[in-house]
Amino acid sequence: MSAKHRNALGRGLSALLENNGTDITGAETKPLHSISEIPISQVQANPFQPREEFDEVALLELAESIKVHGIIQPITVRKLGYDSYQIISGERRTRASRLAGLTNIPAFIRLADDQGMLEMALIENIQREELNAMEIAYSYKRLVDECNLNQDQLGERVGKNRSTVNNYMRLLKLPDNIQAALRDAQISMGHARAIINIDNSDEQQYLFSKMVEDGLSVREVENLVRAAHERKDEEIKATPEAKKKAELPVTFVEFQKSLSSKFETKVKIKADERGRGIVSIPFKSQQDLKRIMELL
């Protein structure tokens, strides 16, 4: 992708829409970069749409509103060729318009390549409040994997700091059933963030079951996680290996804590009496390794 294209993305969706560098075809029957009425039958769904589910009741309510007031905010589409358009943003409005029986829909017509489509669609949808946490997390992952962005670049694109981006990306490490519960609003983002601080998947499942059955608050789950860590720390301190670790010089212990904080994983330092040793940085997946390499 060109530097010009990336800079446009950095300024937001509107800037990219105005970037003629994304044009791929000159075929047009409607004026580009302006709002036109187009047949809704010629509008195709966006294959890059990150949202998997649409609330049917909310769609029907929007359809009724459209019958009365029409489309307040035009959708944005890209031109595929003669009489053919693909949604960049406005999937929900388009579906509701079909339910309302509209034959035409107001649209801002744009030409864009697939890379631009992907970034525009993901960024546009991430900025919408109705996306659930898992949809946001998967959208972030697609921007990282498919658009070759690191987490700092991703944060710039979506207007979030690296910590916020990382919190969403970490949700993808949760077991599938816990991700589904978060997606379906059975648990909150706070619950999920507490559970993910437990490394053992069996312990995660136990805590998740207890949380759902007992209706635990986020604070109560955080307290259980903290207690679990304290028990584990006590068990570790009681082992012979832990006693050896206690002999690690204070300076090395501080280095170990600092590195663990920086890489967000449990870094281990082993050193002999002469100060020679090994630094071990564990990772949980290829994506986690990529994240660590970027920090290095």
Tens digit of each residue's pLDDT (9 = 90 or more) over 57-80: 888 988 998 888 888 778 888 888
220's tokens: 């109560």
The whole model's pTM is what?
0.46
Tens digit of each residue's pLDDT (9 = 90 or more) over 252-285: 777 878 888 788 888 888 877 667 788 888 887 7
- Is-catalytic flag, 130? no
Tens digit of each residue's pLDDT (9 = 90 or more) over 199-255: 888 888 889 999 999 999 999 988 888 888 888 777 666 565 545 545 667 777 778
Give residue 115's pLDDT band: very low, low, confident or very high (50, 70, 90): low
Does residue 112 register a pLDDT over 70?
no
Question: Of 91, 119, 124, 135, which residue is the catalytic one?
Answer: 91
188: left (phi over 0), alpha (psi -120 to 50) or beta: beta
Distance of CA 58 to the CA centre of its chain: 23
| C-alpha pair distances (Å), 60 with each of 29, 49, 55, 231 | 32, 20, 9, 52
Domains of the chain from N-terminus onward: 22-121 (3.90.1530.10), 188-238 (no CATH), 244-295 (no CATH)
The three-point CA angle 51-85-29 to 5° equals: 160
Beta strands in the chain (DSSP E): 35-39, 43-44, 75-81, 84-89, 104-110, 268-271, 277-280
Give residue 54's pLDDT band: very low, low, confident or very high (50, 70, 90): confident
The pLDDT mean for the chain works out to 77
